[in-house]
Amino acid sequence: MKFLLFLSEVTIPLIIFYIIAFGIAQKVKVYESFVSGAAEGLKTVVKILPTLIGLMVAVGILRGSGFLDMLGNYLGKITDPLGFPAPLVPLAFVRMFSSSAATGLALDIFKEYGTDSRIGLIASLLLSCTETIFYTMSVYFMTAKITKTRYTLTGALLSTLAGIAASVLLAAFYVP
């Protein structure tokens, strides 16, 4: 166990030192490359900032208006018989837009139902089995200047549905 703790503490520094040593061995100006990459990263952040703000505001409005609770109540009538509790519907919906907002909803679920409850376990698994589809698509496609996404959204929605199903199935096998 001590070895695993030690390994987890030194892994990232070893990777960083390896990258620096490899760059030096290849006669690359490591510091200049780092600064150049950081400058490009900052430009990318400035480009995507309006999109990020828009997504955060939209999720805040949906949450504050009570729309997510209404959505959970209506769709919960369909999802409850399938094993997916109604309080998790807003979490699944918000997760597609914002990871931080989904984490906030998950914390609310943990406070109300407990982390070791079936709902708490499904919420934890759901956050691990799904992705922030719209955030990821908007950031990566805008950065790469891709305008035709083809089947990306369909595939992402199907994989999210699979992640939700996996979270329900995995929670069913958990025995406290």
d(CA 57, CA 159): 25
The verdict on residue 70 lying in a domain is: yes
48-68 tens-digit pLDDT? 788 778 877 887 888 889 898
Res 45: pLDDT: 83
Q: What is the DSSP letter of 117?
A: S
pLDDT at res. 140 = 81
pLDDT score of 5: 86
Residue 68 forms part of a structural domain: yes
How many domains does the chain contain in total?
1
Longest dimension (CA), the chain: 63
Which segment of 10-14, 41-45, 77-81 scores lowest on mean pLDDT? 41-45
Reply yes or no on whether the pLDDT at 125 is more than 90: yes
Q: Which of 91, 93, 97, 92 is nearest to 56 (CA)?
A: 97
What local confidence, expressed as pLDDT, does residue 114 receive? 92
Q: Is residue 14 part of a domain?
A: no
Determine the Cα–Cα distance for residues 116 and 114; give it in Å rounded to an integer. Answer: 6
Is residue 8 assigned to a domain? no
Domain that holds residue 61: 49-172
User: Is 123 a domain residue?
Assistant: yes
Residue 22 located in a structural domain: no
pTM over 0.85: no
